[in-house]
Structure formats: structure tokens, C-alpha cells
């Protein structure tokens, strides 16, 4: 397996533009997580899915952020409109189960810069 | 409630000397504990995990960690540092039973630098 795949790896956009980040989890994993990493806040859980259904989106910063998982092998995180404070590295991770002793497998991340 | 504290934001050691990265946790449950490593411009990778079996856990690349319930600690060690160990290390606490992923807590990270 190629591991968790994220695209693009880098994204530079201007304030007000729509940004879409993509993730392909490891095949067979039932859980998918979106994280944001910044120097100020560290690693934050934004939302996670179980069997394509969003379970907890309490970490999503505001209505400008939305996430979907139309099938077991694809998820998107969308920011519309984007703002400079959204600049961060966004990670997608997947696992067999949530919580407990289950390891999460992380993708390489998307570095987003909003000018 | 759960929390995790990484006591050092930055640790610098010389190549070939021991590494100690400190982590203290607080948990209402019997927790699972993890150490992840993040190399520059990479995602996080699991180093090792404790899940209520042996208290001394061995991981990849020669790292190990000891779960000490009395001290609520899960410090990461390695006998001899290598240049390739330079990275950010995250201590993570999770409820011991399978439950909401929202209860997983990541530490703030410790940046490990290795001097030649």
C-alpha cells in the first residue's frame, strides 16, 4: 500500500480564493482524520469520519471550512473563502478504529499559504 | 479529562550520546500512550506505543519508552543519538478503550537537534 496520499503537497493562493485539499486513505481503514498544524497551535484535530460519515467536526474553525467523504477512498477539505490565518500544514490520517490503542497513519501533508 | 505535557520544547544532544525526551500525562482512564516522530516536511510516523502490556516498550530506530504509572510519565529514550534522529517528536495520550478519537491528545512536540 502506498500509504495515505494527499494532494497537492503545496498550495499558494490569494485571500478570498477557494482551496480544496484532497486525501486518499489507506485501503481498509474505517476512520479518516483531518488535522491542521501551526507553530502557534500545534496539531489540531479538525474533523474525523467513520465509514464516510462525519463523526465529530467540533474542531472545524468556522463555516468557511467544510469536509466531505463521498466514498471510502477519497476525502476533501475545502476552505471558502480562504484567509491568511488559514496558512498551515494540513494533514490527513487514517486508522482501523478510532481512539484506544489504534495507530493513526499520516499522509505527508499539504502546506497551504494564503497571501 | 486527559492531558499531555512535553516538558522540553527543544533538546540538543551530541551524536553518540543518550537521548531523553520527557512526557507527562494525565488521564481518567487507563490510557494508551504513543510517541510519533515527524521529520522535516513529512507526516507523523509511529515510533512506539504502550497499551497496558509491558511497561517498557521498544520502538523503531532504537527508541524505547517506559510507562511509569506512579510518576504519570512516558519518557522516550535512546542510548546513542544519530544524526538522522533530528526531528520533532510528539507524545500522544488516548483512552485505553476504543472510544471517540476526539479524546486523543497530542503534545506540543519536542524538537530534537543532534550536534556532530
Q: Which of A93, A99, A106 sits opposite B98 (nearest CB)?
A: A99
pLDDT at A100 over 70: no
Does the beta carbon of A106 lie under 8 angstroms from any beta carbon of chain B? yes
| Nearest C-alpha in B relative to A57 | B102
Q: Which three cell numbers stand for residue A102?
A: 489504534
Kindly report, residue by residue over B53-72, the tens digit of the pLDDT: 788 999 999 999 999 999 99
Do the Cβ atoms of B44 and A97 come within 8 Å? no
Kindly report, residue by residue over A7-32, the tens digit of the pLDDT: 999 999 999 999 999 999 999 998 99
Kindly report, residue by residue over B73-108, the tens digit of the pLDDT: 999 999 999 999 999 999 998 876 666 666 788 999
Contacts of B49 in chain A (CB under 8 A): 101, 103
Q: How far is A39 from chain B (nearest CA, A)?
A: 9
CA distance linking residue A68 with residue A77, whole number of Å: 7
Q: How far is A4 from chain B (nearest CA, A)?
A: 10
User: To 5 degrees, how large is the angle CA A67–CA B90–CA A8?
Assistant: 35
Supply the pLDDT for residue A62: 85
- To test the contact with chain B by mutation, choose from A101, A102, A105 the residue with the greatest count of B C-beta atoms within 10 A, namely A101
CA distance linking residue B90 with residue B47, whole number of Å: 10
CA distance linking residue A115 with residue A84, whole number of Å: 6
More confident call, A97 vs A100: A97
Amino acid at each position: 500500500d502506498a500509504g495515505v496520499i494527499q494532494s497537492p503537497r503545496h498550495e499558494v493562493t490569494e485571500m478570498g480564493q477557494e482551496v480544496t485539499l484532497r486525501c486518499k486513505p489507506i485501503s481498509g481503514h474505517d476512520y479518516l482524520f483531518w488535522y491542521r498544524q501551526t507553530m502557534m497551535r500545534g496539531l489540531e484535530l479538525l474533523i474525523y469520519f467513520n465509514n464516510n460519515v462525519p463523526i465529530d467536526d467540533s474542531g472545524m474553525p468556522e463555516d468557511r471550512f467544510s469536509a466531505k467523504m463521498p466514498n471510502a477512498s477519497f476525502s476533501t477539505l475545502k476552505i471558502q473563502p480562504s484567509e491568511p490565518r488559514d496558512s498551515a500544514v494540513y494533514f490527513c490520517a487514517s486508522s482501523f478504529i478510532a481512539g484506544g490503542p489504534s495507530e493513526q497513519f499520516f499522509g505527508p501533508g499539504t502546506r497551504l499559504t494564503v497571501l | 479529562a486527559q492531558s499531555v505535557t512535553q516538558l522540553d520544547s527543544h533538546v540538543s544532544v551530541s551524536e553518540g550520546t543518550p537521548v531523553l525526551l520527557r512526557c507527562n500525562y494525565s488521564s481518567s482512564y487507563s490510557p494508551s500512550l504513543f510517541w510519533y516522530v515527524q521529520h522535516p516536511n513529512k507526516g507523523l510516523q509511529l515510533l512506539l506505543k504502550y497499551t497496558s502490556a509491558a511497561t517498557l516498550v521498544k520502538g523503531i530506530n532504537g527508541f524505547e519508552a517506559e510507562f511509569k504509572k506512579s510518576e504519570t510519565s512516558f519518557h522516550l529514550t535512546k542510548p546513542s543519538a544519530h544524526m538522522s534522529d533530528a526531528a520533532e517528536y510528539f507524545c500522544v495520550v488516548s483512552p485505553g478503550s476504543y472510544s471517540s478519537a476526539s479524546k486523543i491528545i497530542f503534545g506540543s512536540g519536542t524538537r530534537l537537534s543532534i550536534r556532530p
